[in-house]
Structure 1
């Protein structure tokens, strides 16, 4: 298994409010007493850890459960990091020897969990309205959704709304694009016009609407050049493709969903879309050197050091936006 990393920027709002608040405000909402700056953060961390009550907790439609394992925090930096454990729950699984598929050698019951260790880091600066969450996962296993939902639910219990946004550093994006080609472009548009729909009778006759999807495959071209041409067409109000697509209800670029699909030399894939200004979010790979010796799980110290360095870059890039 390969180690992967998901990065999110986070912010908090009071329930039913539109404006973001800084984490000082959030911590004071979570606490019931008047405390010092350091004590507010400690109280936040204590309450979050206590919310697990030493048990596995499930927030992801009861399919995955997680619990805290080995946690450390730096009060002066409003930073907590460490390991959680998690895995599939509420399902019965037979256990087999790899060379014998006939007879199971054991069983995991619905009340048991085959848990794996995962590294995480949560940065919630006291005087800022943004934070950073990093969650490590594996190429074939993840509890990321459960962890995010659990954290979201914790804030919600205190009348706060936590929002999370995927993040990849500029260096990671450039590294992926440098080794990538575009292997597919898709254009799609939902068509509700009866006059257009009637052209495809009897196939579409009873549909209220349909989506036209046009795909160009096996392009194998440099991403920068193609995206530059697309942006130039949009900027100058020209059609992205010159063919007459009016029969399909496509008159111009308005409401046109255009996606670009990339693949790098290692077979890793990603995509971007015109509506998000071709912002790309490739998978973040972690080096094998972060693994425990003779294991696939992350080494706490080495993974912490790697993510701390990465956090410096993330903070710098957030401040530039």
Structure 2
């Protein structure tokens, strides 16, 4: 599965400073645009935030996350003229920003060589990003303190870290709102699909261990850490969901150099879809809950060309409706 489009969903929850701050997107947005008047139309507030969003992201310099060496940018000409084929669209009545951003990895010095003429070469510096197009959608209902973020990426490349960093910094305001929390969310229908039609093909645990713990104190190996990875893989059939519930606790309690696998820093695995035969990665959280990736080819046609983004957009709007029903209970009282 070299370059398969996949989708991740996240819930963004505002983090107000003090109990007296109205914890809603409306209050945050009004303060960010510098107009807290009570008679503002919601559509005006949202479009002003959209303008601020574009001014923040569509700059000469790409927005970067140094810790993961990922960057992204928008290439937007106009946010109001419908005659212009913009990459990002703003839906003022439904409070949705969606579209395509350019992003990718940087930080490695490499050389680019033509496959048809090996003598045609060019340098790729550490400040050059190898980019691709990625679709995203964010739904920000003004009366709520929660937003839904959908990020399309690929099995071999993603911009999740830099996209989340952007929204963490954007959805803040001095003295009123700290950085929000962003947590991964798996829609219930995706979880049911996994339960009914997928098996676990492997589990992988990794962490860093000091040399003294790994090698013992009798060996003088200076003070350094070693990355240790433990992979658990059934030799025949994969592990079903019901079997997983039975075996995960004994696996987590297994010991390596006096360390339980359960305390390892990173825990992940791979799911094999029995219908399509394709595998996809998943993260395992501290509650043993499997969070599978949404491999888009299971739900829409993927041609590996620009036409995919039309179907990805349609699917995102469809799955957004499912998530809204799960995340926003009817008649919910807003926190203040």
- Aligned twin of 2:164: 148
Q: After the TM superposition, which residues 2-17 of structure 1 pair with which residues of structure 2 at under 5 Å, given as runs?
A: 2-15=4-17
Higher helix share: 1
CA contact (8 A) 2:8 2:152 kept: yes
Which of 175, 184, 188 aligns to 1:166? It is 184
Alpha-carbon spacing, 1:45–1:227, altered in 2? closer, same or farther (3 Å): same
Deviation at 1:120, TM superposition (A): 0.9
- Aligned twin of 1:194: none
- Write the distance in 2 (CA, Å) between the matches of 1:163 and 1:73: 24
CA contact (8 A) 1:190 1:211 kept: yes
How many residue pairs match? The answer is 302
CA contact (8 A) 1:272 1:278 kept: no
- Write the distance in 1 (CA, Å) between the matches of 2:191 and 2:16: 33
- Write the distance in 1 (CA, Å) between the matches of 2:94 and 2:254: 58
SS in 2 for 1:317: helix
Alpha-carbon spacing, 1:290–1:116, altered in 2? closer, same or farther (3 Å): farther
- Write the distance in 1 (CA, Å) between the matches of 2:9 and 2:287: 20
- Aligned twin of 1:263: 271
Q: Are 1:97 and 2:150 counterparts?
A: no
- Aligned twin of 1:224: 241
TM-score (norm 2): 0.69
- Write the distance in 2 (CA, Å) between the matches of 1:217 and 1:143: 29
CA contact (8 A) 1:117 1:297 kept: no
- Aligned twin of 2:150: 134
Structure 2: gaps spanning 5 or more residues: 77-86
Deviation at 1:161, TM superposition (A): 1.3
TM-score (norm 1): 0.72
SS in 2 for 1:142: coil
CA contact (8 A) 1:89 1:111 kept: yes
Q: Are 1:117 and 2:125 counterparts?
A: no
CA contact (8 A) 2:74 2:100 kept: no
Alpha-carbon spacing, 1:178–1:20, altered in 2? closer, same or farther (3 Å): farther
SS in 2 for 1:263: strand
- Write the distance in 2 (CA, Å) between the matches of 1:248 and 1:218: 23
CA RMSD, Structure 1 to Structure 2 (Å)? 4.6
CA contact (8 A) 2:90 2:97 kept: yes
Q: Are 1:302 and 2:311 counterparts?
A: yes
- Aligned twin of 2:80: none
Alpha-carbon spacing, 1:176–1:155, altered in 2? closer, same or farther (3 Å): same
- Aligned twin of 2:32: 30
CA contact (8 A) 2:6 2:294 kept: yes
- Write the distance in 2 (CA, Å) between the matches of 1:227 and 1:177: 11
SS in 1 for 2:327: helix
Alpha-carbon spacing, 1:74–1:183, altered in 2? closer, same or farther (3 Å): closer
Alpha-carbon spacing, 1:54–1:277, altered in 2? closer, same or farther (3 Å): closer
CA contact (8 A) 1:90 1:111 kept: yes
- Write the distance in 1 (CA, Å) between the matches of 2:300 and 2:262: 48
- Aligned twin of 2:90: 73
SS in 2 for 1:51: helix
- Write the distance in 2 (CA, Å) between the matches of 1:152 and 1:54: 18
Alpha-carbon spacing, 1:260–1:137, altered in 2? closer, same or farther (3 Å): closer
SS in 2 for 1:312: helix
- Aligned twin of 1:286: 296
Deviation at 1:285, TM superposition (A): 1.4
- Aligned twin of 1:42: 47
Deviation at 1:24, TM superposition (A): 1.6
**Between 22-31 and 12-21, the greater mean CA deviation after superposition:** 12-21
CA contact (8 A) 1:66 1:143 kept: no
CA contact (8 A) 1:260 1:272 kept: yes
Deviation at 1:174, TM superposition (A): 2.6
